[in-house]
Structure 1
Amino acid sequence: MSACVLYHFAFDPGSRAARLALGEARLDFTETPVRPWEEGCPVATLNPSGMPPVLQLSDAGRPLTLCEPAAILGWLEERTPEPFLLPADPAERAEVRRLLTWFERRFTEEVNAVLLHERMEKPLLRLGPPEARALRAGREALKSHLAMTEGLLARRDALAGRRISQADIVAAAHLSVLDYFGEVAWASWPGLKTWYMKLKSRPSFRPLLADRFPGVQASAWYQDLDF
């Protein structure tokens, strides 16, 4: 198999999920950063949605273009004879898919569409300063989601069950972006903090800790593995 090329935006949670999953698979890939809101972005010709991540590769001599996290994580799962980031147990697989849908829909709509819009999209698109009312609403929604996540981890080793799965990869990708902007009060969620520390210490996570958003300093603990 020839080298893979991943088109991604460093602070897009979906792009981070793809980078983490590729790292967990120990698959060599070249990163090509993109800015999907700019005219001429190469992703616009590769993915009908115009959004990253997009993975281009050659598999057994056949060119493949995999668009967005579900396709990339699904391909990584199917290329291995043993379960990779989906549990073998059908009930745990169903739980993984439930949690993926939660983060893709409700978390994205209630948290990211508010907090990341105010903290990240507005500066990039020059839409003015963050609005205090929107920040308060996004932070209240985030607390609700963190409480649900803390509850899961009170009775499980990982989000969906006994071992790290796609659910952990996707959740960590979302939370890592918010963590960069200092939006996660880890001291209030000890179980979640322990879980995140374990994921943050994995080799696949290291490239994410080197990401920097222009004009915004990372939270004081962003790079610390033991915080």
Structure 2
Amino acid sequence: MFALNVTWLSGERIDMSANTGTTGAACTAWDNSECQGTPYCPPRCPRFEGKDDTLFLTRPYESDDRDALVSMYADLDQYSRSMGLPPATVPKIEDWLERLHSNGWSLIALDGDRVIGHVAVVPADSSEPEFLIFVHQAYQNHGIGTELIKQLIAYADDRDHSGLTLEVSKGNKRAITVYENVGFDVTKRKLSELEMELDLEHSLVRRLRRPPADRV
């Protein structure tokens, strides 16, 4: 169970008692069936289980994650790329990520110390920013992308964005289904792409931000 003096961001316990003056027992397991959340929880519980019961973490991107994120993108296969992204070479990947992080904000999914998924939102000061998401091919079909999108929605609402937008290839049926399942609607049809949008007043957002034990 989460305690008032503990937050989980990278698989380690971070003591917040020096800042809060509170004490309590630390969370020692992944089972959050009795967890009710605390004021120190992030917008959505960072711990989740993949479809094969593997344990993963999500958290905001930090500058120290740069090399691990570049490595994920450098190892991404051609079938996991979309609309010319990510760029093909490491220097271009580094430049692309620098632009993303200087203009927006990001979340990453982790398997231990390995970055396995990334969602980036730009620009940070837009009321309805656009986002992109990629999951390493070795971790696809494990629920990573769906969880990252749920995290994205919870964090975007916490940051007071009013909506989220995206562009997706018409041929990417799997991604379109995931987006539709979490509430995105098609707003424009292009020759080879769809524009989709989620209004953050959607009732789904409230469900995603319930205490960890109740979140879907």
TM-score by shorter chain over 0.5: no
Quick one: higher RCO (CA 8 Å, sep 6+), 1 or 2?
1
TM-score by length of 1: 0.29
* TM-score normalized with structure 2 length: 0.30
The structure carrying a bigger strand percent of its residues is 2
